[in-house]
Structure 1
Amino acid sequence: MVAFASARLLVTHIPKPKWNTKNLGLRLGADVVGAASSASLVAPVISVIDRSIMENASGRKSVADSIKSSFRDFLRRPQTFLFSKPTALIFLLYGGTYLTANTIDTLSSTVSNKPATTVTAGTAKFAASSAANIGLCIYKDQVFVRMFGPPGLVPRPVPMASYILFALRDCITVFAGFNVSPVLGPWLNEHMRGELRRRVDGVTVAQFVAPAAIQTISTPLHLLGLDLYNRSSGDSRGSVSLRDRWVAVRKNWAVSVAARIGRIVPAYGVGGVVNMKVRRYLMEKLT
């Protein structure tokens, strides 16, 4: 009897694990599946929109004409289009960005001993997601800007100023997509009333609205970065003043904002929701 009581006392005093390592390998696999699912879904659409913005800024084609051309290519050679270099680059960009964010959530839930479905919105997630997105997006942009630059222009190195502007643009967008949305969503759920609250998920709304709205601010940075490449002050056309660049940015601002919202909605809206729901579904199966 004494031995039984001692054993029972020993069991009750066994310390609880400090980390949640249950099915950790499978949870990381769920992170990959969620990221790949969302990236596969949005990559073809975003590659078309990104190309149209680049070609419009370089004077090759208007946004509308570029989209029409890409759509014709898709109808004629769908396999070639889906496995093309532009589509692959977009898959790499968003697959890598979402995988980084997912992995941060999994590592956070592991070290803090929280459920596998935990989603964070802190500095670590912003820093890691920004680093992945900026690095991959800058690589994608320097390939795109050479592929779809001004007609007849010999591809040249992308200026450092363009890289800086692209990086700032991506920091703003990532912050809206991964840090503003998780905070804004619960706030919307709390403040929506009646039938609207029953029908609309604030988290989903925030995932669409926050990254899209921020494009009004980030698009001029994008256009200026493109203009610095397309009209280098050191080329045969001579010096380009800041005023001239501002005129070009302002000229293309409205159509480019619309196009970038068109790409952000699938990237951080549709892609974000798909990534979130696929990951949460798989994590719930593993808990």
Structure 2
Amino acid sequence: MLQEDKASNLLTKRFGIDVFSAASAAFAVSPFITIVDSGRNKLGAALKSGFAELFTRPHRFIRTPAFLLVFGVYFSTYTTANVIDTVCSYTNRDNQTPKFLGTTIANMTTCIYKDRAFTRMFGIVAPKSLPLGTYGLFATRDALTIAASFNIPPVLARELYDRKIILNYDTAQNFAQMLCPAGVQIVSCALHLLGLDLYNRPGVSLSSRISLLAKNYLKTTITRIARIGPAFGIGGVGNRMVKERASELIFDRQQVGVVVTAFK
């Protein structure tokens, strides 16, 4: 009973680290994402005014509804991923499928809420319902991004390290975390553009859609890489580093062993 109580106490601390790490990562990336998302219609002006307010009145910036909505998306997504990692580790179960499903659900639901709120705040036309095809394409797009942000980087990092392509494991982790979320946009951008075109131009021919995709693909891909890279690349590296450093400060090997033993 004493061992189980100690394990429960340590697990509570681990959940605290999970939440703290998620909050740190979300707080670091949310200002940039907020500014970009707020300027969907006039990006240049939004970047100028957004960064001006961020650096001159940061206390006001972080209290705006736009910032809080974006922070909520990434805080919930990173918290979900961290908690699932912890639970799977302490119950000796594989984390890949639970983390993919959990983070996908958390990210999609919070993004839908955030996008609806942003449409009311910054939209220039009245929103209309999404076609089923657009829902499917957007869901696939987001699922690819989540897999590339939370599932693939650890696998790629281990491969790079084991094959001695990158000799330092921390470097391999950072490289994989930065590469994967950005790299998957090469594929998911096409889904994004097709989904938008189904929404904006219902009933047009396939050749017309392909022509529009070819025209906008490169610049849209660059834009999405610039947005997703910080959100899940820099944010993912920061989340992992904060978790590791906080764990080193709070736990020692003996304590971790007690937790693992109690939950087997």
- Say whether the fold is shared (TM-score over 0.5): yes
CA displacement 1:157-193 (0-9 Å, x = unmatched): 3444333222111100111111110000121123346
Amino acid at match of 1:216: I
- Tell me the equivalent position of 1:161: 133
Shift in Å, 1:93: 1.0
Q: Report the secondary structure of 1:275's partner residue.
A: helix
CA displacement 1:57-89 (0-9 Å, x = unmatched): xxx33x445433433454565444333233222
Q: Report the secondary structure of 1:23's partner residue.
A: helix
Aligned counterparts of 1:268 and 1:27: Cα–Cα separation in 2: 22
Aligned counterparts of 1:203 and 1:75: Cα–Cα separation in 2: 31
Residue segments in structure 2 that go unaligned for 5+ positions in a row? 256-264
Aligned counterparts of 1:240 and 1:148: Cα–Cα separation in 2: 28
Aligned partner (choices 152, 161, 170) of residue 180 of structure 1: 152
Q: Say yes or no: does 1:136 pair with 2:110.
A: yes
Alignment map for 1:115-264 (pairs within 5 Å): 121-145=95-119, 147-149=121-123, 151=124, 153-192=125-164, 197-198=167-168, 201-229=171-199, 231=200, 233=202, 239-264=203-228
Q: Report the secondary structure of 1:197's partner residue.
A: coil
Q: Residues 143 and 218 (structure 1 numbering): CA distance in 2 closer, same or farther, change over 3 Å?
A: farther
Shift in Å, 1:36: 0.4
Q: Report the secondary structure of 1:83's partner residue.
A: coil
- Tell me the equivalent position of 2:27: 40
CA displacement 1:1-28 (0-9 Å, x = unmatched): xxxxxxxxxxxxx9x97x9545121111
Shift in Å, 1:232: 5.4
Report the identity percentage: 39
Aligned counterparts of 1:222 and 1:143: Cα–Cα separation in 2: 20
Verify the 8 A CA contact 2:29 2:231 in the aligned structure 1.
yes
Verify the 8 A CA contact 1:121 1:182 in the aligned structure 2.
no
- The 10-residue stretch of structure 1 (43-52 or 165-174) with the greater mean CA deviation from structure 2: 43-52
Alignment map for 1:100-115 (pairs within 5 Å): 100-112=80-92
Aligned partner (choices 65, 68, 71) of residue 48 of structure 2: 68
Amino acid at match of 1:248: L
Aligned counterparts of 1:242 and 1:51: Cα–Cα separation in 2: 31
Aligned counterparts of 1:200 and 1:26: Cα–Cα separation in 2: 24
- The structure in which a higher percent of residues are helix is 2
Q: Say yes or no: does 1:27 pair with 2:30.
A: no
Residue segments in structure 1 that go unaligned for 5+ positions in a row? 1-13, 115-119, 234-238
Q: Residues 73 and 254 (structure 1 numbering): CA distance in 2 closer, same or farther, change over 3 Å?
A: farther
**C-alpha root-mean-square deviation of aligned residues, in Å?**
2.9
Amino acid at match of 1:164: G
Q: Residues 37 and 206 (structure 1 numbering): CA distance in 2 closer, same or farther, change over 3 Å?
A: same
Amino acid at match of 1:103: V
Aligned counterparts of 1:70 and 1:250: Cα–Cα separation in 2: 31
Aligned counterparts of 2:209 and 2:56: Cα–Cα separation in 1: 38
Q: Residues 102 and 198 (structure 1 numbering): CA distance in 2 closer, same or farther, change over 3 Å?
A: closer
CA displacement 1:190-239 (0-9 Å, x = unmatched): 3346xx6359710110000011100011112223333444x254xxxxx5
TM-score by length of 2: 0.81
Shift in Å, 1:146: 5.0
Verify the 8 A CA contact 2:158 2:169 in the aligned structure 1.
no
Shift in Å, 1:247: 3.4
Q: Residues 178 and 216 (structure 1 numbering): CA distance in 2 closer, same or farther, change over 3 Å?
A: same
Shift in Å, 1:240: 4.0
Aligned counterparts of 1:100 and 1:262: Cα–Cα separation in 2: 24
Q: Residues 72 and 155 (structure 1 numbering): CA distance in 2 closer, same or farther, change over 3 Å?
A: farther
Verify the 8 A CA contact 2:157 2:172 in the aligned structure 1.
yes
- Tell me the equivalent position of 1:92: 72
Verify the 8 A CA contact 2:149 2:177 in the aligned structure 1.
yes
- Tell me the equivalent position of 1:276: 240
Aligned counterparts of 1:160 and 1:154: Cα–Cα separation in 2: 19
